[in-house]
């Protein structure tokens, strides 16, 4: 192919589905990519799988696949996704079953595994704790490496129509189809860097079409309610045009592209990826017309030979309570409520690791802010991370107790208790992590 059309169907687990369906139906895409994993998402998925071995993949997988597979099959669009989370094989088996039910006989679904390194993470020292992962004991939940393109490319080479993996670097989902289609060498650092750039620009989906960008009167975005997802037209050298479907809301400009370029990037000249160290320092965006931005100028250097590993572990319980105060002097009454809850929790402080009380709208973002404002209402939120669920429950109960034993006029109290799933990181040699690919074919079952 001289140009690959690749679209972003999702930028996170809870992303909207209608724009992805629109891309599948009207996008004339070669590839539709669903990037749905965050740092904690796969750890939560591992917890879910421990309770149900058949689960552990993206809870929206079935809904997404049923919605887009018929159009993708009709239009010759391949699907690449990390919705496999902690169970790519289970996700692939479900997808193959859905394909059969939809009458898509012969559709090939690939499961790419190998990112789960929980069985050998013990000796590796975690950056955040400074101790080996093994020290977490039974608090350790998951360990998944950010793998590169090898498994994905192998799956595509085996004829897969749908490729489902677990934890991979976000741009990898977009880079792999480009490497496969254009036959880029694994040491063609320039083109690999260009491919990572395309992936990075698309990985957050609507974030480059005006989502998470809109600021009324400052950065206006038309028809945000009907915002479309982006797609890229990429040539064999990795030069790309970022655009969206006609008739969709949102906008694509140099500004939206630049914001996304800098998103979550520590050093633009050394963006560490499994297959290449990408260099975005020379990237150039140029206007090609309405909602069409050309991009090129990325480079690359040899990969580090290390894969980042995201480690999930249990880290206590959060108890949280909220209650509202409105009308005259509501800030003072809200602050009195905060002070009252803090004092009442004093007997349990040994079981409380950290806590905070705040007035939403006054100092919930900047704790140093003082109550100088006079809003018509405030909502108190008191939260504490505790050693056990019983202490966390007391936090929520003390907020609810403000109804009759707190300042005047409190209402709308709520309380929650939830386990904390924390994330730490380390590095593992890439040579110790190998991808496995299994192809399932959707065939009609004969009774």
Question: Do residues 379 and 359 make contact, with C-beta atoms less than 8 angstroms apart?
Answer: yes
Q: What is the pLDDT of residue 446?
A: 39
The mean pLDDT of the chain is 95
pLDDT tens column, 292-330: 999 999 999 999 999 999 999 999 999 999 999 999 999
Task: Look at residue 116 in the predicted model and tell me its pLDDT.
Answer: 96
Return the pLDDT at 447.
35
DSSP string of 86-114, one letter each residue: T-HHHHHHHHHHHHHHTT-TT-EEEEEE-
Beta-carbon-side half-sphere exposure of residue 173 (alpha carbons within 13 Å): 35
User: For residues 166 and 147, what is the distance between their CA atoms, to the nearest angstrom?
Assistant: 9
Question: Would you give the DSSP letter of residue 279?
Answer: E
pLDDT at 372: 62
Domains, in order of start, for the chain: 3-116+144-305+428-441 (no CATH), 311-425 (3.30.70.600)
User: pLDDT at position 369, please?
Assistant: 66
Token representation of residue 106: 């012969």
Q: What is the reported pLDDT for 271?
A: 97
Arithmetic mean of pLDDT, 74-98: 97
Give 46's contacts (C-beta < 8 A, 6+ positions apart).
Answer: 56, 86, 118, 141, 142, 312
Residue 78 has pLDDT above 70, yes or no: yes
For 226-376, where are the E strands, in sequence order? 230-235, 240-244, 271-272, 277-279, 284-287, 292-296, 299-301, 306-326, 352-360
User: 363-412: per-residue pLDDT in tens?
Assistant: 888 877 665 668 999 999 999 999 999 999 999 999 999 999 999 999 99
Residue 89 CB neighbours (<10 A)? 18
The DSSP letter of residue 118 is G
**Which position has the token pair 């966390």?**
392
Q: Give pLDDT tens digits for 414-442.
A: 999 999 999 999 999 999 999 999 999 98
| Model confidence band, residue 242 (pLDDT cutoffs 50, 70, 90) | very high
Per-residue pLDDT tens over the stretch 177-210: 999 999 999 999 999 999 999 999 999 999 999 9
Whether residue 191 contacts residue 237, with contact meaning beta carbons closer than 8 Å, is answered with yes
From the CB of residue 75, how many other CB atoms can be counted at a distance below 10 Å? 15
């Amino acid at each position: 192919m001289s140009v690959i059309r690749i679209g972003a169907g999702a930028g996170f687990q809870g992303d909207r589905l209608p724009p992805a369906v629109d891309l599948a139906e009207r996008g004339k895409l070669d590839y539709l990519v669903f990037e749905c994993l965050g740092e904690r998402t796969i750890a939560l998925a591992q917890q879910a799988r421990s309770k149900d071995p058949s689960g552990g993949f993206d809870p929206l997988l079935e809904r997404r696949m049923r919605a887009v597979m018929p159009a993708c099959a009709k239009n010759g669009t391949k699907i690449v996704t990390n919705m496999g989370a902690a169970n790519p094989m289970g996700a692939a088996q479900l997808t193959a079953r859905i394909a059969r039910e939809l009458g898509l006989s012969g559709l090939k679904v690939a499961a790419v595994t190998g990112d789960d390194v929980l069985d050998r993470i013990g000796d590796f020292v975690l950056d955040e704790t400074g101790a080996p992962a093994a020290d977490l004991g039974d608090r350790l939940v998951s360990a998944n490496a950010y793998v590169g393109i090898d498994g994905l490319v192998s799956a595509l080479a085996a004829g897969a129509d749908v490729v489902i993996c677990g934890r991979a670097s976000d741009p990898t989902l977009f880079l792999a189809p480009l490497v496969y289609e254009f036959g880029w060498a694994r040491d063609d650092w320039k083109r690999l860097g260009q491919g990572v750039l395309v992936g990075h620009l698309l990985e957050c989906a609507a974030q480059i079409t005006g989502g998470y960008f809109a600021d009324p009167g400052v950065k206006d975005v038309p028809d945000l309610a009907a915002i479309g997802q982006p797609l890229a037209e990429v040539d064999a050298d990795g030069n790309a045009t970022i655009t969206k479907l006609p008739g969709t809301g949102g906008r694509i400009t140099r500004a939206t592209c630049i914001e996304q370029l800098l998103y979550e990037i520590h050093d633009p000249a050394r963006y560490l990826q499994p297959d290449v160290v990408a260099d975005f320092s020379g990237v150039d965006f140029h206007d090609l017309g309405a909602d069409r931005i050309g991009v090129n100028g990325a480079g690359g250097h040899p990969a580090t030979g290390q894969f980042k590993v995201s480690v999930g572990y249990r880290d206590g319980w959060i108890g949280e309570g909220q209650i509202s105060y409105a009308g005259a002097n509501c800030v003072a009454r809200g602050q009195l409520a905060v002070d009252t809850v803090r004092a009442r929790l004093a007997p349990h402080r040994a079981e409380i690791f950290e806590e905070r009380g705040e007035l939403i709208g006054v100092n919930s973002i900047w704790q140093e802010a003082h109550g100088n404002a006079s809003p018509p209402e405030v909502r108190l939120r008191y939260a504490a991370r505790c050693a056990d669920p019983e202490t966390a429950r007391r936090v929520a109960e003390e907020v609810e107790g403000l109804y009759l034993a707190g300042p005047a006029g409190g209402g709308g109290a709520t309380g929650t208790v939830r386990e904390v799933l924390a994330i730490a990181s380390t590095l593992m040699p890439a040579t110790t992590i190998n991808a496995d690919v299994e192809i399932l074919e959707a065939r009609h079952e004969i009774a």
